[in-house]
Structure 1
């Protein structure tokens, strides 16, 4: 059964374990969810403004079109989760462990994700404008269609990552580690003619 329009604002729900629960249009604003464990739960259009999700653990859960504003996510773990279309504003992330997750269409504008392991994640058409991605591990990440204007990648590992021409021209990629294919695509995106025959 789906819980709709429920108000959990200011609730103290620390250390609970939820399995298979479904929430739609619910608010968890300023709730204390520290140490929460979710497995196979769904959250659609839910509000996590100023919620404390520190040290929480989420496996195979979906947070679709949710709002995370000034949310505490430090020491949290997301594994095999969907964050499709969710918005993150001025959140506290680091350290954040996120593995095999889908952030397609998510908004992480100006997110402070420096040194975070984001390898293999899906950021298709995500908004990463102005995000601090310095020294991040983005190996094999899918950044196709992502908005990367002024995103900082100095020291990031982008080997085998997928970036399109727009991302290659808009992002600040100086100092990033890339493979040969990305280097060639970067040169082409900047108008260079690359001779690959030699």
Structure 2
């Protein structure tokens, strides 16, 4: 079922369950979607400004090029989902559960994901500028091409993570746990010659 251009502004859809629905350019501004469960749904170019998605659960759902501004995603769970090209600005993201979720090209500039479990997630070419990822679990995460200027990884676990030299030079990694390959890449990114 394709739903195109529908206006859900201020709608109260608390606790609903949606399966296999497709939403295109729909507006969920200030909607109450707490406790919503989705399975196999797609949201394309939808707006979630000041939307409450707290305690919602999403499985195999895709949020493509959507905008989340000042949205509440606290205690939400995303499993096998995609946030491809979606932008998050001033959102409440803690605590959030992200498992097997693709955040490729996601805009998470300034996001606070401190102590979040992002293990094995795909963050290729994501915008993480000035994001707070202190003490986050990023083991085996793919951060290839991610924009990391001002990103804080202090105390984060980056073992097995894939990061570009540019990102290693721009981010703060004080006290982060890394594997040998990342340590060598970090040294090279800061002009050291490893022999």
Shorter-chain TM-score: which interval? Answer: over 0.9
Q: TM-score, normalised by structure 2?
A: 0.99
Aligned to 1:56: 56
Cα shift readout 1:44-88 (whole Å, capped 9, x = no counterpart): 000000000000000000000000000000000000000000000
- State the alpha-carbon separation in 1 of the partners of residues 102 and 91 from structure 2: 18
Aligned to 1:10: 10
- State the alpha-carbon separation in 2 of the partners of residues 164 and 113 from structure 1: 21
Ranges of 4+ aligned residues in structure 1 off by more than 6 Å: none
CA RMSD between the two structures: 0.5
- State the alpha-carbon separation in 1 of the partners of residues 175 and 152 from structure 2: 10
Cα shift readout 1:28-48 (whole Å, capped 9, x = no counterpart): 000000000000000000000
Give unpaired runs (5+ residues) of structure 2.
none
Aligned to 1:163: 163
Note the C-alpha offset of 1:153: 0.5
**Counterparts in 2 of 1:43-192, with a 5 A limit?**
43-192=43-192
Q: TM-score, normalised by structure 1?
A: 0.98
Counting matched residue pairs gives 195
Aligned to 2:35: 35
Give unpaired runs (5+ residues) of structure 1.
none
- State the alpha-carbon separation in 2 of the partners of residues 53 and 192 from structure 1: 46
- State the alpha-carbon separation in 1 of the partners of residues 166 and 130 from structure 2: 15
Secondary structure at 1:38 match in 2 = strand
Note the C-alpha offset of 1:118: 0.5
Note the C-alpha offset of 1:99: 0.5
Note the C-alpha offset of 1:173: 1.0
Note the C-alpha offset of 1:193: 1.0
- State the alpha-carbon separation in 2 of the partners of residues 71 and 136 from structure 1: 21
- State the alpha-carbon separation in 2 of the partners of residues 188 and 155 from structure 1: 21
- State the alpha-carbon separation in 1 of the partners of residues 65 and 165 from structure 2: 27
